[in-house]
Amino acid sequence: MTLGEVDVGDLVHNACELFGPIAEDKGVSLTCRVPDKIILSGDIRMIQRMLSNILDNAVKYTPPGGKVEVLVSKNEKQDVIVSVQDTGVGISEVDLPRIFQRFYRCDQSRSQAGTGLGLSLARAIARAHGGDITVVSRPSQGSTFTIVLPKSVSS
C-alpha cells in the first residue's frame, strides 16, 4: 500500500462525474454532496477502486427512475464517512450477512455481469486503511453502504 495525502471529497466528486453518464443513460438520478476538502492518509488507487465498486453496484442495482445519493462527511473523531444510498432492489436478510464474502452473489445479481469480488475487495480496502464498510438494506427499497475511514492509517 502506497500511503499519501488523499482528498476523498475530490475522489468522490470524480467518481460521481465518471458514473454520471452511466446513471443518466439508465434513467437513475445520481447526486453527490461533497465538502470542498476532506483529507486523509491513504492509498489513492485503492480508495478509488473501493469507491468505484460501491458506486457501480448502486447504479447497477437501481432501476430506472431511482436515485443514488453519495454523501461525504466527518464524524466526531474526524473519521471520513462516505455514504452511498440507493433506491435499488435491496438485499434480502438471508443474503445480507454474506455479501462481503468473496465470490458471493445474491440471487438478484446473478443475471448481472460480475464475479462477486467487488464488495469483498471494497471491504478489504477499507480495513487495510483501518476502517470498514457496513450496509443497511431492505428488499425493494434500497441499500445504504457506509464507508468509515480514519484520518490516518495506524501501523
pLDDT in tens, 54-104: 999 999 999 999 999 999 999 888 899 999 999 999 888 888 777 777 655
Q: How confident is the model at residue 111 (pLDDT cuts 50, 70, 90)?
A: very low
Domain total for the chain?
A: 1
Tell me how far apart the terminal alpha carbons of the chain are, to the nearest angstrom: 12
Write out the residue range of the structural domain in which residue 144 sits.
4-149
Q: Is pLDDT above 90 for 120?
A: no
Residue 48 resides in a domain: yes
Residue 98 resides in a domain: yes
Residue 155 resides in a domain: no
Arithmetic mean of pLDDT over the chain: 88
Residue 78 resides in a domain: yes
Residue 63 resides in a domain: yes
Residue 58 resides in a domain: yes
Percent of the chain with pLDDT over 90: 67
- Residue 104's pLDDT is 58
Q: What is the CATH number of the domain that holds 55?
A: 3.30.565.10
Residue 112 resides in a domain: yes
Q: How confident is the model at residue 34 (pLDDT cuts 50, 70, 90)?
A: very high
Q: Is pLDDT above 70 for 21?
A: yes
- Residue 109's pLDDT is 46
Top-confidence residue, 107 or 146:
146
Contacts for 124 with CB less than 8 Å, ≥ 6 apart = none
C-alpha cell of 6? 488523499
Mean pLDDT of 23-34: 96
Residue 154 resides in a domain: no
Q: What CA–CA distance (Å, rounded) separates 155 from 42?
A: 12
